[in-house]
Amino acid sequence: MSMIANVQNGQQILLTEYMRSIPFFSGLSDPHFNLLQKYAEFITLKRFEILFHRGEESCHLFYVCAGMMKVSIHLALGREVIRKISHPGMLLGEASLYGEKYHSAMAQALDRQTHIIRIQSSVLRRVMTEDAGVALRLFDYIGDRLKKSEFRLESVIAEDARTRVINFLKENALLYGNKVGFNELLLKHNFTQQDIADFTGTSRQTVTTILNDLKRSNVIAMNRRRILIRDVENLA
């Protein structure tokens, strides 16, 4: 068997394993699962590699298996606004399920290796019409994302920069951090202080000041790729 065939077989095995673990597809019948898998592709992105650009045709749903993605738009004078940071278990391109023809933002990998499953939206919509369970789970996910977007908008309007940065740390640590002590959480990440600023609607200098202040107060400890939060429940 050739090296290319070995790589293709390995990717197919990874695709099957990851797709079996996707909670949205729990309980799918074999014909529906096989149909989705037929029109699915396993993708590996390197850091800073683009998954899709703003304005490109939107005809796929993307599931993050490993690594981290950011979805952002670039405004005048080179300013970037990060709409969301996607971790394993999250979706990208879900608007294609309800009629969005073109991507309204860019998606870029933040990790050295980010694994993505790409599924044709038209095929998934067909499965959704035939399996109400899949449709309900996807709608619940989309509804939850909309609620978080609304909360974030309210935060930008009503809260100061320090609170927004702290909320960013809390949310990511609670969702993706590892417990290492009685009430400590270690957040391993690949976003920069500029990323935090772009996500929270502040400046990089403000983020640096807030993080340094939290560090001096022994509320957090940090290095370039890790943030240890001493007591996430009382982080303030």
Domain identity same for 148 and 164: no
Which two structure tokens, joined as six digits, stand for 146?
Answer: 């909309």
**63, 113 in Cβ contact below 8 A?**
no
Domain identity same for 138 and 189: no
What is the rounded CA–CA span in Å between residue 25 and residue 141? Answer: 13
Domain boundary among 154, 180, 212: 154
What does DSSP say about strands 226-229 and 220-223: parallel, antiparallel, or unpaired?
antiparallel
> In the predicted model, is pLDDT for residue 5 greater than 80?
no
Domain identity same for 127 and 167: no
The tens digit of pLDDT for each residue in 105-147 reads 999 999 899 999 999 999 999 999 999 999 999 999 999 988 9
Domain identity same for 91 and 202: no
- Residues β-bridged to residue 118: 41, 62
What is the rounded CA–CA span in Å between residue 207 and residue 166? Answer: 10
Domain identity same for 147 and 165: no
| pTM attached to this predicted model | 0.82
Domain identity same for 163 and 149: no
What is the rounded CA–CA span in Å between residue 180 and residue 108? Answer: 30
169-195 as b/e: b if 16+ CB within 10 A: bbebbeebbeeeeeebbebebbbebeb
Mean pLDDT of the chain: 89
Domain identity same for 119 and 230: no
Domain identity same for 93 and 164: no
Which two structure tokens, joined as six digits, stand for 89?
Answer: 């278990």
The tens digit of pLDDT for each residue in 190-203 reads 888 999 999 998 99
Domain identity same for 98 and 129: yes
Per-residue model confidence (pLDDT) at position 80: 87
Domain identity same for 113 and 166: no
**Could you give the percent of the chain with pLDDT greater than 90?**
62
Structural domain boundaries enclosing 174: 159-234
**Could you give the percent of the chain with pLDDT greater than 70?**
95
What is the rounded CA–CA span in Å between residue 42 and residue 109? Answer: 15
pLDDT category of residue 181 using cuts at 50, 70 and 90: confident
Domain identity same for 149 and 194: no
Per-residue model confidence (pLDDT) at position 4: 41
The tens digit of pLDDT for each residue in 8-45 reads 566 778 888 889 999 999 889 999 999 999 999 999 99
Per-residue model confidence (pLDDT) at position 9: 65
> In the predicted model, is pLDDT for residue 176 greater than 90?
no
Domain count, the chain: 2
Domain boundary among 109, 136, 154: 154
Domain identity same for 100 and 61: yes
